[in-house]
């Protein structure tokens, strides 16, 4: 049982991707909430004067990176939920009794959950184009994927950490709702953070999504609050912490 078992990781990744692509209803369901935000806010506030909006940037341009980040958060949280669903149906035992290290299992889930969450984010990005969104340069797409991958690792890792401390999927689902929306509203995804009270702004500074959305805005729209290097640095740190936390907490999960 090697510490990192590539074939085991691949098996878990393949399973996640197959399950995802095979249930179109799940994809539609995962896209629906971000899409509603995008369509209603994007069209409703178009042309509105929003305090703190960078000069010459249309609200839709501002909003799309935020919704892409939200779709990522939404998609990644399902990874934690699917672990608890596996436990509910007994499939988790089948995974845990295999000669594969817990670390490899966590890495497999992160690979699978990240892949499906990135697909969802990219679909939102593509769907925003008919609404009028314009990417500044084709070259920014690969960089955006790197940012999405770091965000995915952060939030799937967080989901695994949280799922490791929970035993029932219903309670987990409720908790996730209470976490997703504050993270979303406190990330500058919908409006510039300058308007918020100072104390709340500090909270935004420890929110990984803040840096993810800012970095996406930097590469997709060409405007950002922080330098891109700062955003990327913060994302690398948060991804490392959350993956480590997920692995550490899952290590202690009792199999039965």
Partner 1 sequence: MDAIQVDTLTKRFETTTAVDGLSFTVEQGELFGMLGPNGAGKSTLINILCTLLKPSDGRATVNGYDIREETAAVRDSIGIVFQEPALDEELTGAENLAFHARLYGLGKAERTERIDEVLELVDLATVRDEPVKQYSGGMKRRLEIARGLIHEPAVLFLDEPTLGLDAQTRRATWEYIRRMNEDAGVTVVLTTHYMEEADQLCDRVAIVDQGKIVALDTPEALKDQQGGDVIVVGLDGDAATLVAQLETQSWVREIDVTETEVHVTLELGETRIPDLVRIADDVGVAITSVELRKPSLETVFLSLTGSTLREAAEQTTAPEDGTPSDDRATSGPVEAEQ
Q: Rounded to an integer, what distance in angstroms lies between the CA atom of residue 178 and that of residue 188?
A: 18
Q: Which of residues 53-92 bind partner 1 (CB under 8 A)?
A: 89-91
Which residues make Cβ contacts (< 8 Å) with residue 93, sequence separation at least 6? Answer: 255, 256
52: enclosing H helix or E strand: none
Query: At its nearest, how many Å lie between partner 1 and the CB of residue 253?
Result: 11
Please state the φ and ψ torsions of residue 4, each to the nearest 5 degrees: -115, 115
* Interface with partner 1, residue 199, by CB under 8 A: no
- Least Å distance, CB 90 to partner 1, is 4
Measuring CA to CA, which residue among 54, 114, 47 is closest to residue 79?
114
Residues 1-20 that bind partner 1 (CB under 8 A): 1, 5, 7-8, 10-11, 14-15, 18-19
Least distance from partner 1 to the Cβ atom of residue 97, Å = 6
Residue 120's SS3 state is helix
Q: Among residues 32, 40, 94, 206, which is the contact residue for partner 1, using CB under 8 A?
A: 94
Which of 95, 111, 127, 156 is in the footprint of partner 1 by CB under 8 A? 95
Residue 221 beta carbon to partner 1: minimum distance, rounded to whole angstroms: 38
Q: Which of 117, 37, 115 is nearest to 77 (CA)?
A: 117
Give CA 88 to chain center in angstroms: 24
Contact 114, 154 (CB under 8 A): no
Paired tokens of 26: 């799940």
Per-residue burial over 233-246, b if 16 or more Cβ lie within 10 Å, else e, is ebbeebbeebbebb
CB of 20 or CB of 158, closer to partner 1: 20
251 sits near partner 1 (criterion: CB under 8 A): no
Nearer to partner 1, 98 or 249 (CB): 98
Which one, 18 or 134, has the nearer CB to partner 1? Answer: 18
Task: Indicate the residue among 11 and 38 with the shorter CB distance to partner 1.
Answer: 11
Identify which of residues 47 and 252 has a Cβ nearer to partner 1 in the complex. Answer: 252
How many of the chain's residues bind partner 1 (CB under 8 A)? Answer: 25
Q: Structure tokens of 3?
A: 């510490």
Paired tokens of 236 = 């690398």
Residue 255 interacts with partner 1 (CB under 8 A): yes or no: yes
Compose the 97-126 pattern: x for residues touching partner 1 by CB under 8 A, - for all others. Answer: xxxx--------------------------
Q: How many angstroms separate the CA atoms of 120 and 64, rounded?
A: 14
51 binds partner 1 (CB under 8 A): no
Interface ranges with partner 1 (CB under 8 A): 1, 5, 7-8, 10-11, 14-15, 18-19, 22-23, 89-91, 93-100, 255-256
């Amino acid at each position: 049982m090697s510490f990192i078992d590539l074939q085991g990781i691949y098996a878990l990744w393949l399973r996640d991707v197959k399950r995802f692509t095979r249930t179109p209803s799940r994809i539609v369901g995962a896209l629906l909430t971000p899409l509603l935000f995008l369509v209603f806010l994007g069209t409703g506030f178009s042309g509105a004067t929003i305090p703190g909006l960078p000069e010459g940037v249309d609200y839709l341009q501002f909003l799309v990176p935020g919704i892409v980040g939200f779709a990522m958060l939404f998609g990644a949280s399902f990874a934690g939920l699917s672990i608890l669903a596996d436990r509910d149906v007994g499939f988790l035992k089948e995974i845990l009794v295999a000669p594969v290290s817990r670390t490899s299992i966590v890495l497999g889930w992160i690979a699978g959950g990240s892949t499906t969450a990135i697909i969802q984010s990219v679909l939102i990005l593509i769907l925003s184009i008919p609404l009028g969104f314009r990417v500044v340069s084709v070259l920014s797409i690969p960089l955006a994927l790197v940012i999405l991958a770091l965000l995915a690792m952060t939030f799937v890792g967080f989901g695994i950490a949280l799922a490791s401390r929970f035993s029932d999927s219903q309670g987990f689902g409720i908790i996730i709702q209470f976490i997703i929306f504050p993270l979303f509203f406190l990330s500058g995804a919908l409006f510039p953070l300058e308007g918020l009270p100072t104390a709340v702004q500090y909270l935004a500074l420890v929110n990984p999504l803040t840096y993810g959305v800012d970095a996406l805005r930097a590469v997709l729209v060409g405007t950002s609050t922080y330098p891109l290097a700062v955003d990327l640095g913060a994302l690398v740190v948060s991804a490392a912490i959350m993956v480590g936390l997920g692995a550490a907490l899952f290590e202690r999960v009792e199999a039965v």
